[in-house]
Amino acid sequence: MELEQVDAGALPAAQAEKSLMDVETAKAVAQIQGAMAVAKRFPRDEVQAVNRIKQAAQRRRLAESAEYEYKRGGSLVSGPSIRAAETLQQCWGNMMSGITEVKRDPIKRESIMMAYAGDLETNTWKFLEFTVPHVRDKADGAVALNSSRDVYERTMNDGSRRLRNCILAVIPGDVTDSFLEECDKTLSKSDTPLKDRINAMLKAMEEVAVTRAMIENTFGCKADAITERQLSQLRRIYQSLKDGFGGVTDYFKVPQDHGGKASDLNSRVKAATPAPAKKAEPDPTVEK
């Protein structure tokens, strides 16, 4: 497809912006059409794809971060994490996904974003549009983001959860269930004693402002008496806190003798959570 060159400087501002958007739209359409042509030429073998997914679930570190857990309406909800969704897309193949900034409004100080995922073989797509304010929430109030890097990191952090939802909406649910079941099997097989795994989990929880006393107070037992099931629950909670699903006080009871204020815990978690690596721009990829 040949695209006509547009001299934006020779056009009025509104017309130039529209012309550039038309060019970008044409490029995106051409990219998707090319990817679909490749997918039709090299269709996925679903049996092999499922086998790749189950094999990936046998990697212990991936299995430990495969599920999140958060509170909704007084009950705990769990599901595949962002890392799990990315792995499923890679192994399922012939998919396209990404996060893009549709428009940035400097007056309202917000960005209109869109996350999307699509199956290039079945032409099944999921799009989610959302607005991200250019602020960072802190315990003492919201702080405006002024640098482009800070805005980018905020939009990508918010977009990653929508991207996860888009990917999981396209991949068949039974495939996702098989992946999570295999992850549970992987976690149940370990040469490391339960006590050592508990100590490692306690150390990891300290990174997200969760203390040993808070865990013991919530579970109603000493940390040494934590069961395999409770350890799995702690892993999901840890992954949820790292991914930004809820705050510490959503999962744990804060003891009265805790050194800090309960309202400060969530801010400490956000400060400890690393931002995604900076990219020039989100570049959707096609898995062959």
Q: What's the pLDDT at 1?
A: 39
pTM for this predicted structure: 0.68
Q: Is 43 left (phi over 0), alpha (psi -120 to 50) or beta?
A: beta
Nearest one of 153, 161, 175 to 130, comparing CA atoms = 161
Q: Of 176, 153, 162, 172, which Cα lies nearest the Cα of 87? A: 176
What local confidence, expressed as pLDDT, does residue 75 receive?
67
Nearest to residue 241, comparing CAs of 260, 278, 267? 267
Residue by residue, what is the 3-state secondary structure of the chain? CCCCCCCHHHCCHHHHHHHHHHHHHHHHHHHHHHHHHHHHHCCCCHHHHHHHHHHHHCCHHHHHCCEEEEEECCEEEEEECHHHHHHHHHHHCCEEEEEEEEEEECCCCEEEEEEEEEECCCCEEEEEEEEEECEEEECCEEEECCCHHHHHHHHHHHHHHHHHHHHHHHCCHHHHHHHHHHHHHHHHCCCCCHHHHHHHHHHHHHCCCCCHHHHHHHHCCCHHHCCHHHHHHHHHHHHHHHHCCCCHHHCCCCCCCCCCCHHHHHHHHHHHCCCCCCCCCCCCCCCC
Write the DSSP assignment of 25-78 as a string of letters.
HHHHHHHHHHHHHHHHHS---HHHHHHHHHHHHTSHHHHHTSEEEEEETTEEEE
Q: Along the chain (288 residues), what's the average pLDDT of each consecutive run of 10 residues? A: 45 60 72 86 94 94 82 71 94 94 90 94 93 84 87 91 94 95 86 88 90 87 83 85 80 63 49 47 45
Q: How many residues does the chain have?
A: 288
Report the pLDDT value the prediction gives residue 113, as an integer from 0 to 100: 94
Instruction: Give pLDDT, residue 226.
Output: 86
The pLDDT value recorded for residue 44 is: 94
